[in-house]
Structure 1
């Protein structure tokens, strides 16, 4: 019989979609003041190259960027981060419509997990209305998509971002295991 253990802390990120590049600066400021320090960001991608799903609500010309948060946290913090991101989305709403879409998730050495409020057959309920959605698995020095992985998470831009985050995570995890870094708590 396997023994229970405490999962290693994980690296968190926030996927951002917006039609207004000028919202990225105030968004970064709110993320840093209410969620945590930003470690780095991905390049900005054109989201309409992947899907038009959010255009009815958010308009055309959508942009995609991923933001890596500094440090490591317990994986169960994902629920609170999803709700914190929802509060930020609501802050930016105009006339009842979102101007930013924030999808938080975390990375381990083996996988990339997203948080979502939407249930589906492959998603695991975590609590407080939040589900975990496995998007990518790490194999042979790259991230490999699942059959349900979103198109933007299959992109080369996503691959570059998550490989960079994985390298940062390896350093943070090593420092944690050597007693030189404590996981961040809160949200």
Structure 2
């Protein structure tokens, strides 16, 4: 029989994207900080539209994104509640049912990058409250490795480099909890 072990705290990450990413992020950044704590890393603006045009009808052309990391570590079980909270924020700013921005929460662990979603798919695990979790990337042999189902943007080196920076921050923060 396996022994139940302590679950590692993880680094909350959000991918925020919009056709007016800088404007909308500046509008809600303080709200995110109030709810989730201080931001300790913000990426440069990342291209997103080259991977999908899915959001253009809703948000307009030129969709770009920012990856952000939060200083405070979370327990993985909190991800469903965090996704519900970010969905609520998206809907508050929607106009005629169209979101102005999207906030995709997830977390970085030393071995994986996990995203929350409302969409069921065979490789996703139900974590409660209508939310699923997807291991989007795994960290093996010193680098991020993607899967066949990984979203195209997270397969790109540009995104993996940003997540590597967040992973390094996480490793420093988690040392406080490892005994």
Given the two structures, how large is their TM-score scaled by the length of structure 2?
A: 0.95
Matches within 5 A, 1:5-84: 5-20=5-20, 21-84=22-85
Secondary structure in structure 1 of the residue aligned to 2:49: helix
Where do 5+ consecutive residues of structure 2 fail to align?
A: none
What's the offset of the Cα at 1:38?
A: 0.7
RMSD of aligned C-alpha atoms? 1.1
2:57 corresponds to 1:88? no
For residues 132-159 of structure 1, the C-alpha deviation after alignment (integer angstroms, 9 at most, x for no partner) is 0110010121101110000111122211
Q: Distance in 2 between matches of 1:40 and 1:92?
A: 24
Question: Are the equivalent residues in 2 in contact too, given 1:18–1:100 (CA < 8 A)?
Answer: yes
The Cα shift of 1:66 comes to 0.8
Q: CA deviation at 1:43?
A: 1.4
Equivalent-residue separation in structure 1 for 2:7 and 2:161 (angstroms): 26
Q: Map 1:123-162 onto structure 2 (within 5 A).
A: 123-162=124-163
- Structure 1 ranges of 4+ moved more than 6 A: none
Q: Is the 8 A contact 2:9 2:73 kept in 1?
A: yes
TM-fit CA distance, 1:95: 2.0
* Pairwise CA distance, 1:71: 2.4
- Shift of residue 35 of structure 1? 2.2
Deviation at 1:120, TM superposition (A): 0.3
Distance 1:162 1:88 in 2: 24
Query: In structure 2, how many angstroms separate the alpha carbons of the residues matched to 1:129 and 1:96?
Result: 20
- 2:37 touches 2:72 (CA, 8 Å); kept in 1? no
SS at match of 1:177: coil
SS in 1 for 2:169: helix
TM-score normalised to structure 1 length: 0.91
2:126 is paired with a residue whose SS is strand
Matched position secondary structure for 1:5: coil
Following superposition, the deviation at residue 4 of structure 1 comes to 1.4
1:51 positional shift = 1.0
